[in-house]
Structure 1
Amino acid sequence: MTLSTAPVAHKRRWAGLAVLSASLLLVVMDMTILNVALPAISASLRPDAIQLLWMVDVYSLVLAGLLVTVSALGDRWGRKRMLLTGFGVFGLASVLVMWAESPGAVIAVRALLGVGGAMIMPSTLSMIRALFTDSRERATALGVWAAMAAVGGALGPILGGFLVENFSWHAAFLVNVPVMAVAVLAGLFLLPESRNPRPGRWDALGTVLSIVGMVGLVYSIKHFAKDGLTDPTALVSLAVGALALTWFVLRSLRRPDPLLEVRLFRSGPFTSGVLAALTTSIAMAAMMLLMAQWMQLVQGYTPLETGVRLLPTAATALIVSPLAPAMAERIGARTVLAGGLVVAGLGFLVLFAAPLVYGWVALALLLIGAGMGSLAIASAVIMSGAPLEKAGSAAAIEETSYEVGGVLGVAVLGSVAAAVYRAALPYTGTRAEVVRESIGGALDVAATLGAQGARLAEQAKVAFGDSIAMTGAVGAVLMLLAAAAVWKLTPRTLDIGAAHH
């Protein structure tokens, strides 16, 4: 394609990609920073168990609930406008943290961050689809985008750990403000406006159904993980979510201009890209959660030391992501996509089969990161399978799969880990319920018990090691099953460099 027909001047579109990548980096970092800041927030504000749960959950509930609606709005209202508004909301919420002196205020700020995140995340993806009309360039740009997401996930705990240790937990949020201010200014000049030329009528009922369905689904998964499969709140929430989502999908299939283009799933490559994104997200979220606990509670590292030791995943993802499109040109997108899942699966296998010491853990993290990196192709496959006017729908589906995958990972694999931990710890003494609830609880109780406590702490650490090994086995099986499905769904001849205009 010639530059004269390109909608964005050659240099400006790469500068535009830098703005989009930086904003995505921050949103992903923000998800992980909270994990590190939580102990400090708890110590300072003394939230009860329900408030603590909401502090963690509200961000992903709001984000997941709004993704579909905000993407459809962006297609109509203008994706650039939506993105810049998202930057503003995210920056504002980060400033408001300064006045958050109660658990309720922190929950409100996290909800507002979720609104900003929902505006930013799908907009960055659909803007890349609009910025890069040449499909080879677009594959490279999406590789860079995916690398930034991986780096954000790794930098969050390091930066969060540093800020919490040296300043206060407020500082972990304030770091967003200058970046968002720069992103708004740069975005105004560097990003072109793009929207769907034929948006059709707004679907009010569809909007309500998508929000109720996604929030119900995410809320129920989180509560099943915490309270077990018979928890009535979670069961009701799941029923409402499933009903709303089924109605939403049927409605979307019947309408000529649906809120979300569900028909994209008729494409095998599109479905395989979404499946790869979902599976990777499940595996990554569970792994990071368990590894962060193992390093801090079992190995005794500080939050900052833990963040640094989790770096192998981001480092390999950062190297492999931008190379993935070139690898796909050589050996085929199908091989890279399924191969990435197999490599990540091998990483989980290491956790299952090898002794639980940092050397082996680092190898597992390297393999998981390399597998993640090659999944930069998933974004290219998803976006190449969607026409430009449906870019918002494709981006919303991809982002939703990442978001739901993250929640599922913590809930499902986290529950497997918790069940194995409880089964491996035959403790019936003082405060047995607390001890068997989590390793953190066990170590707290052990600290009060003297000589008997030392034995309990040792038993708890061994049980937690068993739970990591079992989660590794489940994660490996999950990744390998997904690899087989992706191999079957993706055509051998799929070329993500073939132009889709």
Structure 2
Amino acid sequence: MTNSPSTTQPHGPADERATRKEWTALGVLMLPLMLVSMDVSVLYFAIPQITADLDPSGTQQLWMFDIYAFVLAGLLMTMGSIGDRIGRRKLLLFGATAFGAASVLAAYAQSAEMLIAARALLGIGGATLMPSTMALVRNMFKNAGERAKAIGIWQAVMVSGIALGSVMSGVLVEHFWWGSVFLVNLPAMAMLLILAPVLIPEFKDPAPGRFDWLGVPLSMAAVLPVVYGLKEFAAEGFEIAYVVWVAVGLVFAALFVQRQRTSASPMISPDLFRGRTGFGSAVTLNLISSVAMMGSAFFTTQYLQSVLGKSAMEAALWALLPSVLIGGAAPVATLLVQRGVNRATIVGTGFVTSATGFALLLLVDTDSLWTVLLAAGVLACGAVIIGAVLTDLALGAAPAEKAGSASSLLETGNEFGGAMGMALLGSIGNAVYHAQVPSSAPAEARETLGGAVAVAQSLPGKAGDALLVAAREAFTNGMHVAAMVGVSVLLVAAATAVVTLRKVRVRVEEPAAGTVEHDLGHVHA
């Protein structure tokens, strides 16, 4: 393996243009990002074969799905901080090695416990790769316009990877055994290990201070209980145990924040949130966008399968159509930034666009395939615009030497937002569903739409049809109420973005004068 010279480059000229080498390196970085995001959904079609081979219990099957996301969310901040200290390229290569090894372990797992452990290791690898790729984009592209374009590409790849994962797993398990959904990671990781040392220089904090060892368990104790409680609340409904989990996480979150404020060498520097840089606003608004994105997905995925009666594979293929719209969203956002449009206006417009997507869901009845797909596409376009501009703003606001920590905090916010979206909007939809399904229906049918579909199939003739019609209408009405809440939240977020971001000042790194600030609305690429 050829090693390029290791350099520490916390600052660089604001007008330094990227060469073909940097753009090629960006393409290499997109490979692990795509695979990490795909692994969130890659088990969807493989699970029947895995169940037949490994015979997992119901609890073990749930952990096969969830352990990856839990470990990923819990370690993001830790890995971002480590990358700032040891070097982001070094952490990237470590993550690629771990991800590749864990993929082999998962593919050839001989028991449910072995597969769960392998998925946990995949989460560790993913937690190193995601903040490393984002931070390296921040470091390689010093020109503001080019960085905005690169981050837009990063955002589009991440969003499309989640949708592509389920489709890819369906195609692979149709022609190969279930382990192939993990082995597909290997060529990309091998390419990354070969090309990254050649194309990507090393970047790290030249004076990181001592590592915050106490911050590691505190950050995990803050993130994991909250994510777990919210996910279970969305899946199982209200239970006091899930509220306790969230409360415990919030207590540790307060302790973590206090630790970061008082530590001489914090994992997440409080300086990121000081002044008028907009970092805190960007993290918060990006989290709200994730609430909307995942909250809508909770309904649209069920609608395609249980209301329209599509198979899982058919639903996954139909769900790819909105990606056509998503592909154009990030370039539009980048072009607007380059034309000097105030970023507060762009982000506000992104939230209004997402709100329009939710509003389109209000037009959906029990046979509205194209309306649902259009709504999903419009909502996702808004989310990609928001994510691209806010990520660029947040990374531009952070000193280059803290890019890893800043990236990890953004990603952790995305995880929180996704869990909150499913819990909040999902619980609203479920409450309407429970209220409208006939009380005479079996308990399983009153719990979930999927349960109603299963019960209806076992009932004779008209009785099954009547239950199915009532359940589908109840679910659609629940989606309408959740969509109205989504519209309200997003419109408030749009107004908040316009107010809070308009006077934000952006760091611009210049070779002679150091770091200076310009009004957000007047920064031109």
Superposition TM-score, scaled by structure 2 size: 0.88
SS of equivalent residue, structure 1 residue 52:
helix
The residue number in structure 1 matching 2:458 is: 448
Larger mean CA deviation between 217-226 and 87-96 belongs to 217-226
The residue number in structure 2 matching 1:10 is: 19
Larger mean CA deviation between 24-33 and 270-279 belongs to 270-279
Instruction: State how 1:183-202 maps to structure 2 within 5 Å.
Output: 183-202=192-211
Q: Does 1:418 align with 2:430?
A: yes
Larger mean CA deviation between 272-281 and 335-344 belongs to 272-281
Aligned-residue offset at 1:178: 1.5
Q: 1:425 to 1:262 in 2, by over 3 A?
A: farther
Q: Does 1:207 align with 2:216?
A: yes
Instruction: State how 1:85-164 maps to structure 2 within 5 Å.
Output: 85-164=94-173
CA displacement, residues 443-499 of structure 1 (integer Å, 9 cap, x when unaligned): 112211222222222222222222222222222222112112211110257568886
Q: Does 1:243 align with 2:254?
A: no
Larger mean CA deviation between 321-330 and 396-405 belongs to 321-330
**Cα distance in 2 for residues equivalent to 1:65 and 1:380:** 24
Which residue identity does 2:433 align to in structure 1?
A: Y
Q: Does 1:406 align with 2:424?
A: no
**Cα distance in 2 for residues equivalent to 1:332 and 1:497:** 16
The residue number in structure 2 matching 1:350 is: 360
Unaligned runs of 5+ in 1: none
Which residue identity does 1:235 align to in structure 2?
A: V
Which residue identity does 1:287 align to in structure 2?
A: S
Residues 417 and 467, structure 1, Cα contact 8 Å, conserved in 2: yes
The residue number in structure 2 matching 1:77 is: 86
CA displacement, residues 124-157 of structure 1 (integer Å, 9 cap, x when unaligned): 1111111112222211111111111122122222
Larger mean CA deviation between 383-392 and 88-97 belongs to 88-97
Aligned-residue offset at 1:76: 0.8
**Cα distance in 1 for residues equivalent to 2:29 and 2:154:** 8
How many residue pairs align between the two structures? 496
Aligned-residue offset at 1:34: 2.7
CA displacement, residues 137-191 of structure 1 (integer Å, 9 cap, x when unaligned): 2111111111111221222222222223343433222221211111221212111
Which residue identity does 2:395 align to in structure 1?
A: M
The residue number in structure 2 matching 1:463 is: 474
Unaligned runs of 5+ in 2: 1-11, 516-525
Q: 1:216 to 1:127 in 2, by over 3 A?
A: same
Which residue identity does 1:368 align to in structure 2?
A: L
Larger mean CA deviation between 420-429 and 69-78 belongs to 420-429
The residue number in structure 1 matching 2:500 is: 489
**Cα distance in 2 for residues equivalent to 1:366 and 1:253:** 41
> What percent identity do the matched residue pairs reach?
37
Q: CA RMSD in A?
A: 2.4
Which residue identity does 1:462 align to in structure 2?
A: E
Q: 1:497 to 1:321 in 2, by over 3 A?
A: farther
The residue number in structure 1 matching 2:342 is: 332
Which residue identity does 1:397 align to in structure 2?
A: L
**Cα distance in 1 for residues equivalent to 2:48 and 2:324:** 27
The residue number in structure 2 matching 1:290 is: 299
Q: Does 1:264 align with 2:272?
A: yes
Aligned-residue offset at 1:391: 0.8
Q: 1:416 to 1:173 in 2, by over 3 A?
A: farther
Q: 1:226 to 1:476 in 2, by over 3 A?
A: same
**Cα distance in 2 for residues equivalent to 1:144 and 1:486:** 22
Aligned-residue offset at 1:283: 1.7
SS of equivalent residue, structure 2 residue 214:
helix
The residue number in structure 1 matching 2:403 is: 391
Instruction: State how 1:47-62 maps to structure 2 within 5 Å.
Output: 47-62=56-71
Which residue identity does 1:426 align to in structure 2?
A: P
The residue number in structure 2 matching 1:317 is: 326
Larger mean CA deviation between 298-307 and 333-342 belongs to 298-307
Superposition TM-score, scaled by structure 1 size: 0.92
Aligned-residue offset at 1:79: 0.7
SS of equivalent residue, structure 1 residue 300:
coil
Q: Does 1:372 align with 2:392?
A: no
Q: 1:86 to 1:240 in 2, by over 3 A?
A: same
Larger mean CA deviation between 156-165 and 83-92 belongs to 156-165
Q: Does 1:480 align with 2:491?
A: yes
Residues 14 and 144, structure 2, Cα contact 8 Å, conserved in 1: no
**Cα distance in 2 for residues equivalent to 1:466 and 1:166:** 39
CA displacement, residues 111-134 of structure 1 (integer Å, 9 cap, x when unaligned): 111111101001111111111122
Aligned-residue offset at 1:354: 4.1
Residues 17 and 143, structure 2, Cα contact 8 Å, conserved in 1: no
Q: 1:475 to 1:167 in 2, by over 3 A?
A: farther
Aligned-residue offset at 1:398: 0.6
Aligned-residue offset at 1:196: 0.6
